[in-house]
Amino acid sequence: MADSLRGKLAIVGAFDTAVGVVPGKTPTELCVEAALGAMADAGIGRSQVDGLITCNAFAEPIMYHAEAVAEYLQIFPRYCFSVNTGGGTTFTVLHHAASAIATGMAEVIVISMADSLRSSMTREQAKRVQSSTGHPQFEQPYGITVPAYYALIAQAHMAEYGTTAEQFAEVAVSCRAHAAGNPTAQKREPITVDDVLASPLIADPLHLLDCSLVSDGGSAVVVTSAERARDCAQAPVYLLGVGEGHSHEHISQAQNLTTSGAVDSGRLAYEMAGLGPGDMDFAQLYDCFTPTVLVELEDLGFCDKGEGGAFLQTGATRPGGSLPVNTHGGMLSHCHPGNPGAMFALTESVWQLRGQAGERQLPKAEVGLVHGQGGIMSSHTSIILGREAA
């Protein structure tokens, strides 16, 4: 069954709303805008949509989120649900959608996510969210926030492999270099390693520029079967492989701080696709904090364990490098509106594979890997996309 979904699902529509500070629009309005934009991109009308997947918003939580968005859109899907557990499940839903289409539960599914963390949440509200993710008994009482959890991972990697703060900073510099070619990115000014290290210390060894942005924005895709995709307006982008890996929920219970569930998700995705790390023309990796990318590069097989820092310092992930990473600028420079943040890596991959990425278009973009993680390196999903179904 490892190859049962290979080439059977196609992404036929993609759309991003404005990002950064988007005043005057609620998360629901952004979610609907993204859905309608993706449908228009695909050349698909509302009456043709029979599946909807959304992600609940921190700034405007709704008990039955997907159903509420469907009502707003005036579509009446037979397949309808929402998620709210971070970047890993942002991509897990693509796995769900592929299975739903393969088993006849739906034919055309819209996946749309949005939030307004920048405009709709006060600083105090954001702090409460940041401090509420830990275990209520073993972590929250100590006042640890999300950056500190990822700092633990960074410190562990430094202790075990001699990784340096300068090497983590390379991730931020690389993402900003890609963002410079993206007119929609929230931050486009070039930065250096010294700039990262000179920015305020947030949680040792992480500085402000090691941390992702806080943004408003929404993003959506339309997916359908490979057969149905032939009738859509855009060239289809095919799902070649997908895999998941779930290692823990709370970071205090992680068996290993320097190796993640990306090992399992990547292995399963490569097996389904019949491809390996060396076949990827690009990678879009979840970059909520710079150590995340370094660990993902290792666990997904792009370099040996413990060699992520040295790999980054070669410039491999920058524009023109051997493995361009986060070609839109990632969460560190493009945008990060919370749970939907990973969706922008998915739409970016679609545009790269269609050859529609403009100034930042890669000279070779036939196969790429997209990876998301949720929690504190807890739940991982790897996706391999390609221009051809086989």
Domain shared by 39 and 164, yes or no: no
Domain shared by 177 and 302, yes or no: yes
Pick from 52-61, 136-145, 204-213, 226-235: least confident: 136-145
- What residues contact 295, with CB distance under 8 A and at least 6 apart? 153, 157, 258, 259, 260, 262, 308, 377
Domain shared by 304 and 283, yes or no: yes
Reduce the DSSP state of residue 70 to 3 states and report it: helix
pLDDT at 166 over 70: yes
Q: Following DSSP, what letter does each residue of 319-364 receive, concatenated?
A: TTSSS-B-TT-HHHHT---SGGGGHHHHHHHHHHHHT--GGG--S-
pLDDT at 85: 65
- What residues contact 275, with CB distance under 8 A and at least 6 apart? 240, 241, 367, 384
pLDDT at 22: 95
Rounded to the nearest integer, the mean pLDDT of the chain is 94
* Residue recorded with tokens 């996309």: 385
- What residues contact 223, with CB distance under 8 A and at least 6 apart? 9, 10, 11, 12, 94, 97, 98, 101, 108, 109, 111
pLDDT at 142: 80
Domain shared by 300 and 259, yes or no: yes
Domain shared by 312 and 255, yes or no: yes
Q: Strand 51-55 to strand 79-83: parallel, antiparallel, or no bridges (unpaired)?
A: parallel
pLDDT at 339: 87
User: How far, in Å, CA of 364 to CA of 261, rounded?
Assistant: 29
**Angle, CA of 237, 221 and 92, to the nearest 5°:** 90
pLDDT at 133: 75
pLDDT at 154 over 60: yes
Domain shared by 180 and 158, yes or no: yes
User: How far, in Å, CA of 257 to CA of 239, rounded?
Assistant: 30
Domain shared by 231 and 326, yes or no: no
Q: Taking residues 298-303, what's their average pLDDT?
A: 98
Q: Which amino acid is at 67?
A: E
Q: How far apart are the first and last CA of the chain?
A: 16
**Angle, CA of 187, 191 and 195, to the nearest 5°:** 120
**Residue 218 φ/ψ, nearest 5 degrees:** -140, 155
Tokens of 123: 């600083």
Domain shared by 192 and 308, yes or no: yes
Domain harbouring 197, CATH code: 3.40.47.10
Sheet strands side by side (includes 282-285): 79-83, 51-55, 108-116, 216-225, 9-16, 237-246, 379-386, 367-374, 282-285
Among residues 377, 383, 312, 387, the alpha carbon closest in space to that of 151 is found at 377
60-74 per-position pLDDT tens digit: 989 999 999 999 999
Most confident of 54-63, 122-131, 194-203: 194-203
Q: How distant, in Å, are the alpha carbons of 79, 111, 240, 263, 346 from that of 227?
A: 20, 19, 15, 32, 21
Domain that holds residue 36: 9-121+215-237
**Is the pLDDT higher at 140 or at 255?**
255
Pick from 5-9, 88-92, 330-334: least confident: 88-92
- Final residue belonging to a domain, choices 203, 237, 271: 237
Q: Is 269 exposed, middle or buried (0-12, 13-18, 19+ CB in 10 A)?
A: buried
Domain shared by 209 and 220, yes or no: no
pLDDT at 84: 76
Domain shared by 263 and 382, yes or no: yes
274-294 per-position pLDDT tens digit: 999 999 999 999 999 999 999
Query: Domain tally for the chain?
Result: 2
pLDDT at 3 over 60: no
pLDDT at 105 over 90: yes
pLDDT at 187 over 50: yes
pLDDT at 86: 76
Domain shared by 185 and 45, yes or no: no
pLDDT at 89: 75
Residue 193 lies in a domain: yes
pLDDT at 90: 83
Residue 361 lies in a domain: yes
pLDDT at 130: 65
**Is the pLDDT higher at 125 or at 294?**
294
Reduce the DSSP state of residue 114 to 3 states and report it: strand
Domain shared by 174 and 85, yes or no: no
User: How far, in Å, CA of 375 to CA of 81, rounded?
Assistant: 20
Among residues 73, 290, 304, 294, the alpha carbon closest in space to that of 193 is found at 290
Determine contact, residues 121/59, Cβ cutoff 8 Å. yes
Pick from 124-128, 317-321, 339-343, 354-358: least confident: 124-128
- Final residue belonging to a domain, choices 202, 237, 272: 237
**Is the pLDDT higher at 1 or at 368?**
368
- What residues contact 201, with CB distance under 8 A and at least 6 apart? 207, 208
Residue spans of alpha helices (H) in the chain: 27-42, 65-73, 87-102, 117-120, 123-131, 146-161, 165-179, 193-198, 226-229, 262-273, 290-299, 308-313, 330-333, 343-354
Determine contact, residues 33/72, Cβ cutoff 8 Å. no
Q: Taking residues 294-322, what's their average pLDDT?
A: 98
pLDDT at 1: 43
Q: Which amino acid is at 46?
A: R
